[in-house]
Amino acid sequence: MVPLSALVRFLWYFPLLALPRCTPDAVSQVVEALPTLLNAPAPPPVTVAPLIRALLDTSGSGSAPTATQPLGLQAGAQVLAFYGPDYEPAWTSPADSLNANARAALRLLARAADYGLRPADYHELPLRALRDSLRHPHEPAWHARQQARLEVYLTDAVLRLMSDLRRGRLRPYTVSVGEKAAGRVWQPAAELRAALAVGTVSATVLAGQPAHREYRQLQQALARWLTRPIAPDSAHFHQVQFEHAALNLERWRWNALPADSEYVLINVPAYELLVVGRDSVLRRHRVIVGKPETPTPTLSSHLSHFTLAPDWYVPRSIATREMLPHLQADAGYLQRNNLAVYTTRGQLLDPATIAWRTVTARNFAYVIRQSAGCENALGNIVFRFANPHAVYLHDTPMRQFFARPDRALSHGCIRLQHPMQLAAYLLRREGRAVNLPSEEECARQPRPRDVRLRRALPLHVRYATCVADNGHLRFLPDIYHQDEAVRRALFGPARRPLLP
C-alpha cells in the first residue's frame, strides 16, 4: 500500500507535470516517474518569521520610519522593538491562524469608538480582509505571506491604540500622569509582549487610560450612548455628537488628573466647581469664569490658604486697559471706587498730582489697590493657589450674576458662589474649628487675615465641553471656541458646525 504521505507528495508535484496530450507514451512516462515522485522529500514548510523580517527590514532604508512607511504603519519603531531579532509570529500559528490573543485584540480594535476613536485608524479594513483570507485553504506560501502581513498590521494597530489611549492620538509623545508618577520611560512593546504571555492583551491596552473619575464616566457614558439605535434621518447629528464627546476624551488624555483621593475641579464651560472625594462629588458651587477675550487658563495647583477681608491689587492689564482711560478723564475715579494709587515701592500717591494724560500703558509705573470693604472686587474672601497666570478664586460683590446661565464674565479669575461654605469645608477637613466671620464682620476688618491650610488641596482647572451626567452625555457650550481645531485634527473637515 502506498503511504499517505507519499501520495500527498505526489499530489503536490502533480500540477507541475506538463501533459500536452493524454497519449499512451505520456501515461507511460507518468507511471515510470511515479516511484521517484513518491520517494521525493516533502517540500520544506513555509515559515512566517522570515516574511515578517522581510516586511520590516530596515537594512537598506536607514531608519525604521522610512522602512515601514510603505506599509502605512503608525508605530513602526515599536513594531520593530516588539518582534526583536527573531521576528517570531505572536498572533498566528500554522495550526490555528489566529490565536486567542489575536481574536481578543481584533474585538478590542472593533470597539475603538467606545473610547472616542475610529476603528478605521487601526487598519480596520486590511485586518478584516487578512483575517477572512486565512479562513480559506490556499497554497502554503501564499498563506504564510498573509499571516506575516496580518502579524505586522495587528501589532501596529494594537501598539498605536495603546499609545492613543494613554497619551492621546494627537499628542503621542505626551508623558502621561502615570509615567510621571513612576519616573520611568514607557515601553509599550515590552508591555504588550508581557501581556501576550499571560493572555491579558485587552486589559493591558485599556489599563493605560486616565484613571480619574471624569474620564472614566465620560468614556462609559459614550459607550452606552453608542448602543442606542440611530434614526435614519439623524445619522449626521449622531456623528456630530460622537465627535463632540470624542474630542473631550482626547483632551482628558492630554491633561489627565492625578489619582488623588480628593481634589477641587473647576470645569470652565460648566461654570462649576466640584469638590471630589473618594470618587464622589462632595460639594458643588457655581462659578463665574473669564470672558472669551480674557479666558480663564487651564492649570493644576493646590489650594494653600485663603485670605479674609482681602485687599485687591489691580492687575496691570486691568489698570492700563480699563482704569487708565477713566483716570485720564477724571482723577476722582479712584476715590469714588475705593481705590488708591501707589508707587511700585509702596508709597501712597495723590492721584490729583499725577499728569494722567501723559501716562500710557508702556510707561505706567503705579500700583492700584482697593482696600477691603463691601465694594471690594474680591469680596470677603480669596482662595490662593500658585500659578503663572496670576489668577485666583474669590468672592464677588456682584452675586446676582450667579443666576445667569452664561457666566463667562470675568477678566480670567474665578468668582465663587457661597465661598464661605467652601472655607468652612476646608477647615472641617483638617479637623479645625470653624470660626469664620460674617460678611459684615469681614467688611469691617481693617486688615486682611490669612488662614493657612495644614493640608493643601489639589486644584485643577480644565476645559471640557462634554461631560457625563448620571450616566448620560451632557453637551456644554464651547465658550472659548476651542473644539473645532481639535475635532478637525481628529476627524477632518466638518460638513456642518459642531454643537452650539
Q: DSSP string covering 61-103, please? A: TSSHHHHHGGGT-SSHHHHHHHHTTT---SS--SSSSS-HHHH
Q: Does residue 413 fall inside a structural domain?
A: yes
Q: Which residue has the cell 445667569?
A: 404
H helix and E strand count, the chain: 19, 15
E strand or H helix at 187, and its extent?
none
CATH of residue 424's domain is 2.40.440.10
Q: pLDDT averaged over the chain?
A: 87
Q: Are residues 198 and 303 in the same domain?
A: no
| pLDDT above 70 (res 9) | no
Percentage of the chain lying above the pLDDT 70 cut? 85
Q: Are residues 290 and 352 in the same domain?
A: no
Q: Are residues 294 and 441 in the same domain?
A: yes
Residue-level pLDDT at 15: 44
Q: Does residue 70 fall inside a structural domain?
A: yes
Lowest mean pLDDT among 37-51, 318-332, 397-411: 37-51
In terms of DSSP bridges, do strands 393-394 and 449-462 run parallel, antiparallel, or are they unpaired?
Answer: unpaired
Q: Does residue 350 fall inside a structural domain?
A: yes
244 in catalytic set: no
Distance CA 207, CA 216 (A): 11
Task: Please count the structural domains in the chain.
Answer: 5
Q: Are residues 94 and 124 in the same domain?
A: yes
Q: Are residues 184 and 165 in the same domain?
A: yes
Residue-level pLDDT at 445: 65
Q: What is the pLDDT of residues 113-144, one digit of tens each?
A: 999 999 999 999 999 999 998 888 778 889 89
For residue 66, give the C-alpha cell: 522610512
Q: What is the pLDDT of residues 376-424, one digit of tens each?
A: 888 999 999 999 998 999 999 999 999 999 999 999 999 999 999 999 9
Q: Are residues 398 and 473 in the same domain?
A: no
E strand or H helix at 26, and its extent?
helix 24-39
Q: What is the pLDDT of residues 205-229, one digit of tens each?
A: 999 999 999 999 999 999 999 999 9
CA distances to 162, 469, 487, 495 from 249, in Å: 15, 15, 11, 22
DSSP code of residue 171 = -
In the predicted model, what is the mean pLDDT of residues 166-183? 78
Q: What is the pLDDT of residues 258-313, one digit of tens each?
A: 877 899 999 999 999 999 998 999 999 999 999 999 999 999 999 999 999 898 89
| pLDDT above 90 (res 496) | no
In the predicted model, what is the mean pLDDT of residues 17-29? 52
| pLDDT above 80 (res 364) | yes
Q: Are residues 87 and 137 in the same domain?
A: yes
Residue-level pLDDT at 500: 47
Residue-level pLDDT at 178: 65
| pLDDT above 50 (res 2) | no
Q: Which member of 123, 143, 212, 394 is catalytic?
A: 394
In the predicted model, what is the mean pLDDT of residues 139-160? 94
Q: Does residue 499 fall inside a structural domain?
A: no
Residue-level pLDDT at 104: 97
Q: Which member of 212, 244, 413, 466 is catalytic?
A: 413
| pLDDT above 70 (res 19) | no
Distance CA 442, CA 6 (A): 101
Q: Does residue 188 fall inside a structural domain?
A: yes
E strand or H helix at 335, and its extent?
helix 333-336
Residue-level pLDDT at 26: 54
SS3 label, residue 210:
coil
Distance CA 342, CA 331 (A): 14
Residue-level pLDDT at 233: 86
Please report which confidence band the pLDDT of residue 163 belongs to, taking 50, 70 and 90 as the band edges. Answer: very high
In terms of DSSP bridges, do strands 414-416 and 393-394 run parallel, antiparallel, or are they unpaired?
Answer: parallel
- How many CB atoms within 10 Å of residue 124? 16
DSSP code of residue 17 = -
Q: Are residues 237 and 277 in the same domain?
A: no
Q: What is the pLDDT of residues 422-448, one digit of tens each?
A: 999 999 999 998 888 877 777 676 678
Measured in whole angstroms, the distance separating CA 310 from the mean position of its chain's CA atoms is 38
For residue 122, give the C-alpha cell: 487601526
Residue 388: burial class (beta carbons within 10 Å; 0-12, 13-18, 19+):
exposed
Percentage of the chain lying above the pLDDT 90 cut? 69
Q: Are residues 401 and 291 in the same domain?
A: yes
| pLDDT above 90 (res 158) | yes
Q: What are phi and psi of 230, to 5 degrees?
A: -110, 125
Q: Which of 127, 113, 204 is nearest to 162 (CA)?
A: 204
Its sign, for the CA torsion 476, 481, 483, 488, is positive
| pLDDT above 60 (res 12) | no
pTM tops 0.95: no
Q: Does residue 496 fall inside a structural domain?
A: no
Q: Does residue 338 fall inside a structural domain?
A: yes
Q: Among 175, 190, 209, identify where a domain stops.
A: 209
Please report which confidence band the pLDDT of residue 365 belongs to, taking 50, 70 and 90 as the band edges. Answer: very high
Q: Are residues 295 and 398 in the same domain?
A: yes
Please report which confidence band the pLDDT of residue 92 belongs to, taking 50, 70 and 90 as the band edges. Answer: very high
Q: Are residues 204 and 234 in the same domain?
A: no
22 in catalytic set: no
Q: Does residue 500 fall inside a structural domain?
A: no
Q: Among 370, 392, 409, identify where a domain stops.
A: 370
Q: Are residues 111 and 200 in the same domain?
A: yes
Q: Which domain holds residue 397?
A: 262-311+373-464
Q: Among 172, 188, 209, identify where a domain stops.
A: 209
